[in-house]
Chains A and B, each alone.
Chain A
């Protein structure tokens, strides 16, 4: 087994007086595909932020490639981790086009006071190509549809040339076709770039068809971790979401219904 890429050991996070995450243990190895599922407010986004130090960790430890993630080491570690956030609204007048926004993904690696070179530009063009947005490179970012916006965010993350990709509900508020497209792009990219992926989602069926490993989070505690095919369990899912869930067989696939 290869050495862990990222590791959470007994991590506990408090915001003010409330406990958001409680004693989390998790190990991600290079190239693994993890998904994190759980009800709203379970602490999923907070957990995602632990890997790159956006969530400050009070107790326990977070390590990345053997280095402990602290405010001091975080800027360096962040260069290798790309984080795609939940979609936000963009002012339609925003003075920036898609290519510029994607190129911005390379800036942290370029460093302060240094000029963007051909290598970075090629990286941005490749990333646009990979998500199928080359055609829209010159379009102002405020004029994109929800799905295109999400693909742009993905391209920005790729342009960073990370080894670990954090995705926070990349398919939320998209129509079915756009959801499919995004998920296919993610699966394809993972193969192409040999990325480790940590995906937060509410789309259970995407989880079962794509991911290898599943973590379930409820009320700040890890309820269950294991292989995806074992996670398709009505009792377990019902416990996670506190609603009865049925698992139906649909040809080769098993799908969750409620």
Chain B
């Protein structure tokens, strides 16, 4: 209430405004916001509308053509029939699961270990090291990890250094030499199962499974963002009071049980925020993949963001690129809109 009184005072109306409640007192605030609102209307909503229009248009070459393509929405059918885009959607799904899974596990694990040892003098140093990659750009991360996962060098040298390959050779096995991002294998292919249970799955023109080339990319992304997850959880843990921990201990809970049964359940809102932020990162992952592996063998590490970029700005198939961009936007919106709507409801209460 005090806020609306303030707004009324700023608008120059008398404080006893009950007699003219009809009059809108928010206009000075609205005027201040207006430039940002106009800019948002153009640069976000206007541009999205243009993107959507182009995705429905005939614009397939350098020469702009904004007439609506017949039959309506044909570009989207073309898009989903493309093996490359099918691979992109598969990769997004698999990458998201891998990346979020390991990032949350590692981030939460580190947060628990740091919280458990929080009175140790070196703990701030550990924490800062884990968070450090978050300050770097995905391009730097990609450049460094590209060499670490190079099949000729990097981690593979450790298999020689630690004698694993010699051991394998002594029992007549081939040396361990994973191709990492250059490996075209799609493991655990489930096409047969899909075709049995989902009508239309025959039109899937790719192997649906786990492209192993995505594993190193997910590890690099985890390296960059798990420290952030840790920081979010540590921020949440400071709100769990010592009394709550002590009460759980008096009830006979061991240290691990205090975390598992008391602290982790209390951190559920943090987990939700973390997952939403990581989803938002993984759905639009672009620069890391470009620098680390590119589209990969058989599009094993291709992503919708790269598809849009190359189809639009390199191949100049504008309608197809924009259709893929709209699919990306819908994927992101399906996560973000419920989140924003629930925060809006909370702030209006």
The yes or no verdict on A and B being binding partners is: no
Give residues in B with beta carbon < 8 Å to A.
none
Give residues in A with beta carbon < 8 Å to B.
none
